[in-house]
Structure 1
């Protein structure tokens, strides 16, 4: 019992120490923030300068001139015109079209595109005036017609100014010569006093008949500086003028070659009495007034955010058992989720937002907080201490709040978000109760006996969305809680409907399997199945697309067959055209052989004879390969004894083996092997393969011919070692006119293997080539059962003569 009391005592002591440590850290962090107030104050004082004395303000005035020029022109003509009609000439537009940089701007560009883009870019020029909320006073007048456009009466000022300027011109612009007692001078001095009294900035800009810009008068702005700004802006505009459009980004007003402003005067002024609130005013004038001061608070704002982020990171790294030592944290954890969310919302809006933090700092360093306390008759000494206490309390509360939030979030994540929601969410508990009631009603509703399940689903979804939308639109939005409650109910109903849809998706899997079957049929080459007769449910659109693919694939195959036929016909026709004159050549060669000729002439005739015979063989081979690959080859099926046919073939080419010193090793079965084949073509197959061995085997090497009699088939294997390096693929060597001897040192057309392959396949067999280093292996497979042959290859009965 005593041990339990001591344990509880130690735990309570640890909690007090940890809680005190957290509060001490937040107190120290608060002092750090308050210590930074002085540097912020110094920064504010440094930035106290004319907010309008900068290039951006000059740029805004420069482009506002064009906007006012357009407005005054439009009102003077009393008609609606497009900005492009005023500022862009047809010549400039045509120049842009003619000089279009197609390397970057790939789409077509016409005059309508240019006009539209120009008008869109021109809209931005009025933003400075239109968003100033009337704080920028302006006066624009056409000096030639006297028509003006203004939001402030500067007319009397202009008369005084013009009289003074006229007087100066008479004196060659020498202000020292003017009569100080004249009415013109006195009026001008009074005008200057009036301007200083009423305005913080005042500027007059004149454009002459040539479009030259000149600042005639300025107050609150350095005339020389703004003259340079305007010259720079005008120069940059001319430099950037669009004649070659290279990107969409080039479509800004500053990049167009526009007509200059002529015979215009502009007056811009900002009154001293203008009301700009540091916190809430965001018009264009207020942005200029407070821009520098607002930037002065960026440093302390970043510091505050950094401290908050560090608190969150460190808190998330601290073990939960340590976090639980903070007194009262366990009780806070038991609060409902909704209370936690509401508290978080109010904390953010009242403590943690940048707006509140900057307000606290600014009102303190400007003395407004102190003035407020003094106005309540609080002594100065006490008021100063209260200011410190208020700031410390604010920052401590901010840091402490973010610490508690991080603690609670980590504990919720550690213990499981789902479990926390089930235990602590009031809305979730209410939702469960509502779901149970709605579920029973909903399931009864969808049990309506309709023929298609998707129709039921569609009707249910339609009713759900329709009535939900009607109720939400009918509800009075002013009653926020009621509308929020209806929205929650609507979301829950949608969730239930989603669950039902999931069940329907499971049923859709069956339709998917049917669709998958169709896809597999197409992939396996079955293009004759009627796809549209198969029921695939919701996948009808995909079914139609598969049908389109099937038709396109069939068409592609037909075109490929047609192409191959054209190639074969071409070879056949060319071969036929060559064969006729070649026959005549061979006939005349035979006649020449029987004629008395010199020894040299006989040699030449023999050479021509050999080459002609070789050409005849090549043409015959071309005929044969064309017939074999087109399926037009006639096959005379008879009983053929394979072993004897092979021995005969070897005997016929034995002299070739002897010439190259190649030893041919054979392995044949003793029994006879009778197959239903075309004897002539089978002999040609064996001959071609044996001749290949004789041509391309290494000299004085061994070659092998094996015949294996298996149950369902006969396998004939030819093996030899290549004389040259094998640097080609097995499939390539079977193509027409492909030879293993790339140097072509041996005779041949490159058709031997291709012809052999065609003859084997037309008889239902297989010819396979295997390469292993320099070992060349060809394998012929003939099937004994004609049914197997027919199932492997669809051989036309018209091309087969059985005996």
Structure 2
């Protein structure tokens, strides 16, 4: 045989191929799981728009509802008017760029009745607002020389508007700047329109959803005119002039004088919803937060429910093929919480970032993101939804993993905290168990105290006496000190005597350990008296043990002798008749006779060996019982029926007394039948011919007893207990058929089923009593 020793450690290529295939299978299963979750997430996010539009309608209807709302009319429109007025008059109540870059609302503000010529200053609100903020509200100087000269003349007058002298140069300069600003403001128009001609304004109004003209009189009281474009569908529009005025000046109507002479026109274009500023944001915020966000939550909840049902529906064996699922299942529970926490932080961080992004100077971007559902919505929504769904799917499969592996292996063993708790519980349980055991032993010790015993009475007396002495000494003062000294002397003397007696016991125990059992101790040793008595009784106990061992050895020798005789007798016959059959000269009838004898002897040998094995198993308890509820009286009658031929063939007369009712016991029917069969066979073998056999079955509350009585045909010169030993027979000559194992097997079967077997010998009377507990 050619063996290549150099390659015996090489890996099997088939194993490598199987490993690669398994690895690819795990990876493909993981990819399929991730792809399924991704597709599910995409469908969930994409379904948002059609579901939202089907339930809440289009953005055009939203625009009409918003333009009729108080939020538009009395919050945002008054805010824009306020900012325009402040820019026109060169005042400002704080930095706020909310109304910068307004496109969804076209506005034009100027002083009513003023003649605008080529020197008119036209600015947008954001230009005026940002210049005043940058220049710390320095008035505009961008006017023609004519207007500037006019302002200088006003500023150089001897008296101001209130008759105040302005001879001081500093006051003259300040008055001059205020006059310049007044001239500039009177010739300024704030608008976000590139063309403010009447023709263009009229065209814009015709194509608008809504247009308003607000004129403030010399007291600042507004009058409002409204109109609609040709394609407008506004039906319930109504603006309250008084509410508008109150909201404009925060209910302080005295501030309306700042608006005197102003005229403002507002035009809401037909493409209002396409712009992004504070006005359209107000509309989007009204719908996105209260309505659209709820749609997203409902879609998410339904999707999660479907995802979890799918995860539970797919067989666990298929799911467990994915490496990502295996990894997640084996991951510690705390790490799973960390993964969930990181995902929640990621989602919260994204929402925080979007919410904190100032949306055209007002509010956050989140409402607009939900309302518009543009590309950014899908760029954020699909990855976050995929991660959330994927983690939910893994967590659902982990619940199935716990179900398959069990709570301990699937949950507790997969957790740092669980292992620590399990360890602590086990330690606490062991400590508690030891405490309970010690307490139980202490209680048992106290309960076992027998006051009839002299030594135990002395121990109890000593304990009580010590307690009383301690109480007296503790409360006796100087007298107690004297008593304590006396008591210490007495205790020392008592301990000295006790040590002397213990020394004698120690010497006696050394003699016993050396093999000298002939010791004689004084048994009057106080609390050590039981030990002295036990040492004195060792000699008697040793003698009994020696006698028992001698008897055991004798029984073993007899057992070997009996086994040898019972096995040798049929085997010798078989060998003899086999040798006779080898003689070819014997006739056919003789051969048949010899063969019959061989068959009989071999059957006896077979039965002997089977009984030997049965007795061995029964005695060692290595036998399986099939206990069931059995009518033991009916079983005994069945045994008699099976042995009817042998009973009728004998000369014995059987007198049987049985109860009429059923007697139920929890027994193995086959083994109990063997017990009755062995007992009856023993009676048929060893009972005296032409004698009577009495069998009585009596029932009590808890048990049933079978009593068998017969006259022995042989002299019973042996102990009653010996008859149940193996290979012990009533026929000492051992000429009768049988193995001598019948009663031994019966006794073992009875005791294994909780019963008892008792044999009583009175002269030639053989009495056997079997007792079984009732079910």
Same fold (TM over 0.5): no
User: Between Structure 1 and Structure 2, whose CA radius of gyration is higher?
Assistant: 2
In the superposition, the TM-score normalised over structure 1's length comes to 0.28
